[in-house]
Amino acid sequence: NAGVTQTPKFRILKIGQSMTLQCTQDMNHNYMYWYRQDPGMGLKLIYYSVGAGITDKGEVPNGYNVSRSTTEDFPLRLELAAPSQTSVYFCASSFIDSEGGAFFGQGTRLTVV
C-alpha cells in the first residue's frame, strides 16, 4: 500500500494563477481531509469529506474548493492564488470516525509570489 499520496511535492505559483493539489489514498478510507500548515504553526483544517459526493468546510475554507467524486481521490483547488496561501498543504485519510487514526501524506509546499 502506498498510503496517502500527494502531488506535486513543491510548486511556485504567481499571484492570480490557479492550481489543483492532488491527493489519493489506497486504504479504502471513507474520510479525507485537507490541512494547511504555516511556518512554525499548527495544522488548520481547510475542507473534509466523509464519503464520495460529500464535502464540508473546515476552519479556513476561503479561497479553496474541493470535490470528492471517488473514494480514493480528494483534490484541492486554489483559485486566484494569493501570497497568504503560501503554506505546506497536507492531505489525510481515515476510516469512519477516524477509527484507528488518520494517516497523512508527505505534504505539498506551495509558494505564491
Across the beta sheet with 4-7, what order do the strands follow? 4-7, 19-25, 76-78, 64-66
Site mask, other proteins, residues 35-54, x = CB under 8 A?
Answer: x-----xxxxx--x-x----
Residue the block writes with cell 470516525: 97
Question: Is 60 a binder of other proteins (CB under 8 A)?
Answer: no
At its nearest, how many Å lie between other proteins and the CB of residue 38? 11
**Helix, strand, coil shares, percent, the chain, to 5:** 5, 50, 45
- 62 is a contact residue toward other proteins (CB under 8 A): no
Give residues 68-107 in contact with other proteins (rule: CB under 8 A): 88, 90, 92, 94, 97-104, 106-107
Contacts with other proteins by CB under 8 A lie at: 31, 33, 35, 41-45, 48, 50, 56, 58-59, 88, 90, 92, 94, 97-104, 106-107
